[in-house]
Structures are given as C-alpha cells and as structure tokens.
Amino acid sequence: MSNKPANNIQDLQYFGEFGGVNPSISDSATYTFLHAKTMLDTFEGHAEGCYLYSRHTSPSNLYLSKALAAMEFTETANVAASGMGAITSVFLQVCGAGDHIVSARTIYGGSYAFLKNFAPKLNISTSFVDITSLEKVEAAIKPSTKMIYCEAISNPLLEIANLKELSKIAKKHNILLVVDNTFSPLLISPQKLGADVTIHSLTKFINGTNDTVGGVVCGTQQFIDSLRSVNDGAAMLLGPVMDSLRASSILKNLRTLHIRMKKHSENAHYLAEKFEQDGLKVVYPGLKSHKDHELFKTLYNEEYGFGGMMTVDVGNLEKANELMELMQHENLGYLAVSLGFYKTLFSAPGTSTSSEIPIEEQKQMGLSNGIIRFSIGLDNDIERTYRAMRRCMTKVGVL
C-alpha cells in the first residue's frame, strides 16, 4: 500500500459507458433484471454488480464511494446525502436502546446536539469526555458502551485525538473507534492508526466548492453491507441517500484534493506563524505552542502539512464580530460557517457552529467567545493576505 494516500486517486481508472474518461452518470432510480431470480438474490445481498434501487446504491455513488475508500485505506465506503446523514446512520446502526457512546466533548455542533438531545429519545446515552485524556476516556467505558467517537482534529478547538492509543483502548474493550476526519482529509488516515470506521462531511475540504452537502462512511465490507442492508441497515432505511449527479460532481473535485490540502496547509501555517509572532493567541497544530504539536507529528502524513484550520482568540465577541465584518468588507474572505473553500471563511464558533453547546459547557472546554475560527483559503499571494489582515486587526484594535 502506498504511503501517499492522495496518489491513490490517480491509480483509479474510469471508462465511461461510451469510453468517456469520466464514468457515466447514472440517471435511474430503479434497475431492470433480465432474470427474476437475480432480483431475489440482489435483495438478499448476493448479486455482485447488480443494482436494485438507488436508495440502496447507484453506479455513480459506488464510483465515489470506491475513490473515498481508496483514500482512507478501507475495504469500502458508502456515501450519504450529508455529513450528518453519514454520522447519524453510524450511531443508529451500532447502537440500540440501552447502549452507550463515549464521545469527545469538542465535536461538531450537530453531532453534539444529536447525541445530547436526540439519541436519549431512543434511550442511547453518551458520556462526553476530554478526548485528550486517555484515562478519562477509558474510565467512561461501561459494559453497555458500543463505541468511542471523536474527530481527528476537533471542531472548533483543534485538539488532536491520539488515535493510536484510542484504538488500543477500543480493542481492549471490544468496542469500535469511530472517527470524523472532516478537518483532516489526507493529513490523517484514521484507518492506518487503528480506527474501525472513518466518516467525512464531504461538504468541506473534499468537495471544496461549497455547492452541495454530502457525507461518507468508510469501513469494512461487512460494516458497510450492514449499513446498506435492506432489512435493518440505517443508511438504507433512514434514506439519507446522495443524488447521483452530486456524486459524480464530488468525484471530479476529489481529484484535486491533494493539491488543495497542501495549499490550505501552507497558507494557514504561514498566517498562524505570523500572527503568533505578532502576539496574538493562535491555535494551529503546526505551531510548536500547540499542546499536541508533537503528537500530531506522530500521526500525520507529513507532505500534507498541518491543515487549513486555525483559530485566533481576539478577547471578546464584539471585537471578533467587528474584525470579521471588516475582513469581509476588505474581501479577505467570507463571514460564513463551513470550511475547505477556495476563499477564507471565518466565524465565531461560540455563536454559530458550536452554539448547540450550552454556554457553561463551552466555558468548561475552553471555548471563549472571542475565538474566531478560520478556514484558510487557497490565496496565491498569502503575504499580501497577511498584510491586509494585519491592517484590519490594527484598525479594530486587536493588534
């Protein structure tokens, strides 16, 4: 297996229906069978290469799934209509009434809200723990625990999960390690570090164009088959299916992911170093001051760097808002949630993507309301960007 995950996409070969270099887009909700017997076999999951109905799977979705599985070194994958569609399917596939999840406390707001407010309606409970404390993670595991859930780089605090050690804990207790790798595609390969299931919101870096939402679950053939089972598969029965047209569009964007990730990382690293030198409170995994910088270096695929996400704490929400509005006015990016775009995106997580987390808990986890989360774009002249951002910071009195 290659050590350069992105190169795998170059290794895949596509011949469209008419010899096209892109696979033909499947434009059908249902599929014909020449023999009635094959239909029954397909229902029972035994007819390799046959399609049944597009909520189950479609040729376009399979092409994208295979490319993502190759990127994540898993046997296979299943794409979903959104990141949340992928995440909630996994929770509901693995857990039933009475089961328990040990989750990192700093996770995407939607995932947090699902575990905190929705899963209890199904009698699925969650312990939220500081994922950087392996002792606390292990101590939270009960006989009813089915999985450890975390993000490789957490949202929005950019904490690093020690996936190697977490996977040892999971194996010891015979439970799954499920990792949301949305912030770190290519930088981190959870499967290689011992994760059982790797999830992405494709909406962010992987698609990279902010024209759609999408998600994927990467795992073993057995796990993905169970998710897609016509009898009791969460992905099949809850129906968070991706449209074929979208799948083909995301597949085309995936092909440049390795180039984009390197540029996102290069630009973010440059700005993080500059702003830290200027005396700002910057969190970026590539900085020596990041508390898990050394750990990150034992986990990452070096050539992709430390990622495109960084945070700057400017003290309070008023300053954060003032600065973001000014930066948008100066065309340095957009005041918008989401990430992985060609333009820089910034938002104040306490009032946006993490607003589902109660204020008291935000404080506990160190989420100050002066934090601005940046997803650094693909700017060709990052020095010019730095100078312009610096002018904005001086103007609002942050520097």
Ligand X SMILES: *Cc1c(COP(=O)(O)O)cnc(C)c1O
d(CA 392, CA 399): 9
Q: Which of residues 22-51 bind ligand X (CB under 6 A)?
A: none
Binding residues for ligand X, rule CB under 6 A, total 16
Q: Which of 106, 201, 248, 344 binds ligand X (CB under 6 A)?
A: 201
Min. distance of Cβ 301 from ligand X in angstroms? 19
212 alpha carbon, distance to own chain's centre:
15
Q: Which of 72, 180, 196, 313 binds ligand X (CB under 6 A)?
A: 180
CA dihedral 270, 349, 113, 215 (to 10 degrees): -40
Q: Give 77 or 393: the residue with its C-beta nearer to ligand X.
A: 77
Residue from 150, 186, 213, 376 that binds ligand X (CB under 6 A)?
213
Rounded to a whole number of angstroms, the minimum distance from the CB of residue 246 to ligand X is 12
User: For 100-149, what is the HEC assignment?
Assistant: EEEEECCCCHHHHHHHHHHHHHHCCEEEEECCCCHHHHHHHCCCCEEEEE
Query: Contact 320/372 with Cβ under 8 angstroms?
Result: yes
> In this structure, are residues 90 and 195 in contact, taking their beta carbons and an 8 Å threshold?
no
Among the listed ranges 89-97, 107-115, 275-283, 297-305, the one in contact with ligand X (CB under 6 A) is: 107-115
- The residue (of 145 and 155) whose beta carbon lies closer to ligand X is 155
With beta carbons less than 8 A apart as the criterion, state whether 193 and 316 touch: no
Residues 301-320 that bind ligand X (CB under 6 A): none
- Which residue from 203, 209, 111 is spatially nearest to 151, judged by alpha carbons? 111
Check residue 203 for interaction with ligand X (CB under 6 A): yes
- Separation of alpha carbons 122 and 314, rounded Å: 40
State which residue, 54 or 201, has the beta carbon closest to ligand X. Answer: 201
For ligand X, the closer CB: 25 or 157: 157
Q: Identify residue 143 by its one-letter amino acid code.
A: P
Q: Binding to ligand X by residue 347, rule CB under 6 A?
A: no
SS3 state of residue 185: coil
Of the candidate spans 40-48, 185-193, 196-204, 249-257, the one that interacts with ligand X by CB under 6 A turns out to be: 196-204
Between 128 and 386, whose beta carbon lies closer to ligand X? Answer: 128
Residue 333 binds to ligand X (criterion: CB under 6 A): no
To ligand X, the closest distance from the beta carbon of 74 in angstroms equals 18
Q: Could you tell me how far CA 201 lies from the centroid of its own chain?
A: 5
Categorise residue 346: left if φ over 0, alpha if ψ from -120 to 50, beta otherwise: beta
Which residue's Cβ lies closest to ligand X?
Answer: 83
CA distance 211 to 213: 7
- Whether residue 23 is preceded by a cis peptide bond, meaning omega within 30 degrees of 0, is no
Q: Does 253 bind ligand X (CB under 6 A)?
A: no
Does the footprint of ligand X cover residue 215 (CB under 6 A)? yes
* Pair of tokens at residue 33: 């069978």
Among 92, 76, 73, 41, smallest CA distance to 222 is for 76
Least Å distance between CB 183 and ligand X?
6
- For ligand X, what does the binding mask look like between residues 112 and 151, x meaning CB under 6 A? ---------------------------------------x
Site string for ligand X, 69-88 (x = CB under 6 A): -------------xxx----
- Assign 258 to helix, strand or coil: helix
Interface with ligand X by CB under 6 A: which range of 47-55, 58-66, 200-208, 283-291? 200-208
Question: What is the maximal distance between C-alpha atoms in the chain?
Answer: 73
Residues that bind ligand X (CB under 6 A): 82-84, 108, 110-111, 151, 155, 180, 182-183, 201, 203-204, 213, 215
